[in-house]
Amino acid sequence: MSQFTKAVHAGDRKKPGPHVPSTTPIYTATSYFYDSVETLDKIFAHEMEGQSYARYENPTNAALEELAATLENGAGALACSSGMAALQAAITVALLDRPKSIVAASDMYGATLNLLTKIFDPMGVAIRFVNICDLAAIEKAIVDSKAGALVMETVSNPVLRVGAIDKISEIARNTNTAVIVDNTFSSPLLVRPIELGASFSVHSATKYLAGHGDVLGGLIIADEDHIEPLRAYSRIAGPLMGPFEAYLTMRGIKTFPLRMERQCQNATRVACWLATHPRVDKVFFTGDPRHPDAEVIARLFPKNLHGAIVSFEIKDAQKQDVFRFMDSLKMLVCGTSLGDVHSMALYPLISSHRDLPPKQRARMGIQDNLVRLSIGIEAIDDIIADIDQALNA
């Protein structure tokens, strides 16, 4: 079944009965009672399906989780309070019965780097960073450090490198290393990491999945081996999304493939146009045939959908020139997010990668004149006109 069809139907209309709501309501109750205590006893014992307490089960979350697992062909999913809470939960569960050692892509979302270096490292987990596009280096790092988990992003942030999830998962399988992929940038319409051998696919649902800039949320999709440990962890630690957010995320996902398709088409147009602009130095885009990872992208991504993030360098621009460009934008929203219906511009130097030492930023290819655009669903001519006038301001 197509992703477009799954997005509209999966998870909803579950309960057979005389009245079945066509979409899943928001369940706010924190506890449930039954005709007999014996029934509740069976639910607590996992002998019977059912709700008992909101940290264990919530029907609104369960509907969203079924939807997410269906979209990525996972064994199940967990809805979390944020993308970062989801990453923290996935990494914790992966390491429960494995060596406390992580191999991670050096080029990742700023908060994810901080999660590894400021939370897991001080707790005694060894962290080793690698170039996620260098398979030989990854294999060596995994073997040398006896890695319990490998953490990577489908598309890195903000210079858009693409690691070979399929090949990396193959390497990791031999060493029982759990592969955790942050799939936020590509979404299940483009890439489904579990199908490629990953153990966990993690999303900031705040971005493309919810899509409207009004929900903070995260989703973990797990494979067969990890879904039960993940649920057991969640019942204890409770990193959960609230039912209101679960409802909004589910509402958003119904139109997500349509939005994403349009955003990808718009992004291709913006990237091609920027490449010819006299005020632009370098354009980063996963649909660029000269992209350094073009071969991996051709293997993992659909033919005409490459993502909707476009980064570019403004020619000879200093910090104040980038500020002027951003202040001159009239329609694009300058904000620290991505994936929304509205187009957005972000300056990594002052936001997502602000906390990193300048040397590390430079090593990641993040120059002081780099701007990241998240392309929305607006008419392409309006998006280009706004960027054009701001570049010429």
Ligand X SMILES: *Cc1c(COP(=O)(O)O)cnc(C)c1O
Residues that bind ligand X (CB under 6 A): 82-84, 109, 111-112, 153, 157, 182, 184-185, 204, 206-207, 216, 218, 338
Closest to ligand X by CB, 70 vs 82, is 82
| Three-state SS at 310 | strand
Strand 344-346 relative to strand 333-334, pairing: parallel
Q: Determine the Cα–Cα distance for residues 274 and 288; give it in Å rounded to an integer.
A: 12
Closest to ligand X by CB, 113 vs 332, is 113
Q: Determine the Cα–Cα distance for residues 196 and 206; give it in Å rounded to an integer.
A: 24
Minimum CB separation from ligand X for residue 265, in Å?
21
Q: Give the CB-nearest residue to ligand X.
A: 83
Beta bridge partners, 284, equal 311
Block residue for tokens 């589910």: 250
Closest to ligand X by CB, 24 vs 157, is 157
Closest to ligand X by CB, 107 vs 139, is 107
Cα angle at 267 between 306 and 320, to 5 degrees? 125
Closest to ligand X by CB, 197 vs 217, is 217
Q: Which residue in 208, 213, 300 sits closest to 258, CA to CA?
A: 208
Q: Inter-axis angle of helices 256-275 and 243-254, to 10 degrees?
A: 70
Minimum CB separation from ligand X for residue 185, in Å?
6
Minimum CB separation from ligand X for residue 186, in Å?
10
Minimum CB separation from ligand X for residue 111, in Å?
6
Q: Determine the Cα–Cα distance for residues 120 and 127; give it in Å rounded to an integer.
A: 8
Minimum CB separation from ligand X for residue 338, in Å?
6
- Do 288 and 271 meet the contact criterion of CB atoms below 8 Å apart? yes
Q: What is the DSSP letter of 83?
A: H
- Do 31 and 54 meet the contact criterion of CB atoms below 8 Å apart? yes
Minimum CB separation from ligand X for residue 144, in Å?
27
Minimum CB separation from ligand X for residue 85, in Å?
7
Assigned token pair, 280:
């632009």
Minimum CB separation from ligand X for residue 336, in Å?
8
Closest to ligand X by CB, 24 vs 154, is 154
Cα angle at 206 between 149 and 262, to 5 degrees? 105
Q: Determine the Cα–Cα distance for residues 62 and 290; give it in Å rounded to an integer.
A: 42
Closest to ligand X by CB, 361 vs 390, is 361
Assigned token pair, 328:
């001159």
Closest to ligand X by CB, 111 vs 384, is 111
